[in-house]
Amino acid sequence: MLAIKYQCLPLVGGALLTSKSKLKALPKSKTVPYLDNNLLCTVVAASATGSQHIQHDEEGQDSFFVGSRLDGALIAVAADGAGSAQHGKEGSTLAVNALVSSIVEAVLPVSDDDWHNTMLTWLEDVRYALQARAKSQDYSLYDLSSTLLAVIVTLTHIVALQVGDGAIVIKENKNDFVFATHAFHGEYAGETIFITSDDYASSVSTAIITRQEKTDIAIMTDGLESVAIEQKANRVFAPFFTELFHFVRTSDTSTQQKCLQLTDFLSSERINQRTNDDKTLILVSLNILKDI
């Protein structure tokens, strides 16, 4: 029997942020209302350790967080520690924690330019945290290599950033999903860039989208690329997300139960036949904004 490692809201690599953090965790038993029901969304998230790690009795390298700021802005972050890194899991967990901390402490921007510059500053904060950990533990910085993906949702904007592979996907119209940001893939299979890479800043992809209507957003690590992306055409395989978001919107089970069901799906034979890597998926279904 496979040992499935399960994470649900608001875990970061198996460790909660401290209670002193300026965050409020998402309820696990109902659709989540933000800002006095002006910003309505349903969030379902899960992570499953890849079969290659399970076979070698290794922990997975992915980490993720979902929660909200006290002002109601939604924060969703995922990271994938490099398989070649000696401390990839530690790196992905620290990268998620550091980014969340920066987002929580920030005064959120208004203009698109300010958003972009602020996100670059957050990534510099993450680099600093990783450098400090490497120095304190006598690691090489590359021992903590990790990708990083994040989405922030406010009343007026959907903001996304990506370093490395994986994908952030958004529903463009009734039946179509597109990439919100761009993944970095190198010349060779499995090659990407990490937040620890010297030239990471040149490959950062960001998106600032004005909210106008209800939509669906997904964050996924690269373990799902072979399932959710038509790789030769480099486009989203829309039916994968259409089916999942139908489940998110229509299932009458609790959010906790949906997370468990999503974990079972990510750990299923159907998925493991296509990928043996770790798989993290965060599904955010936004409803129409009410008048404010």
Q: Which of 44, 28, 61 is nearest to 263 (CA)?
A: 44
Give residue 248's pLDDT band: very low, low, confident or very high (50, 70, 90): very high
Give residue 289's pLDDT band: very low, low, confident or very high (50, 70, 90): low
Return the C-alpha torsion angle 130, 135, 138, 141, nearest 10: 40
Residue 182: inside a domain: yes
Number of domains in the chain: 1
- Mean pLDDT in residue range 180-189: 77
Residue 5: inside a domain: no
- CA atoms of 174 and 285, how far apart (whole Å): 13
Range of the domain at 236: 23-286
Backbone torsions φ then ψ of 220, nearest 5 degrees: -145, 145
Q: Is the pLDDT of residue 21 over 50?
A: no
CATH of the domain at 75: 3.60.40.10
Residue 173: inside a domain: yes
Q: How many CA atoms lie within 13 A of 55 on its CB side?
A: 7
Residue 13: inside a domain: no
Residue 71: inside a domain: yes
Residue 205: inside a domain: yes
Residue 4: inside a domain: no
User: Strand 279-286's sheet: what is its strand order?
Assistant: 32-34, 39-48, 279-286, 215-220, 167-171, 177-179
Predicted pLDDT at 134: 97
Q: Tell me the pLDDT tens digit for each residue of 57-71.
A: 778 889 999 998 888
Number of other residues whose CB lies within 10 A of the CB of residue 252: 5
Q: Is the pLDDT of residue 186 over 80?
A: no
**CA-based torsion, 31, 32, 34, 40: positive or negative:** negative
The pTM assigned to this predicted structure is: 0.86
Predicted pLDDT at 276: 82
Q: Tell me the pLDDT tens digit for each residue of 115-174.
A: 999 999 999 999 999 999 999 999 999 999 999 999 999 988 999 999 988 999 999 877
Residue 239: inside a domain: yes
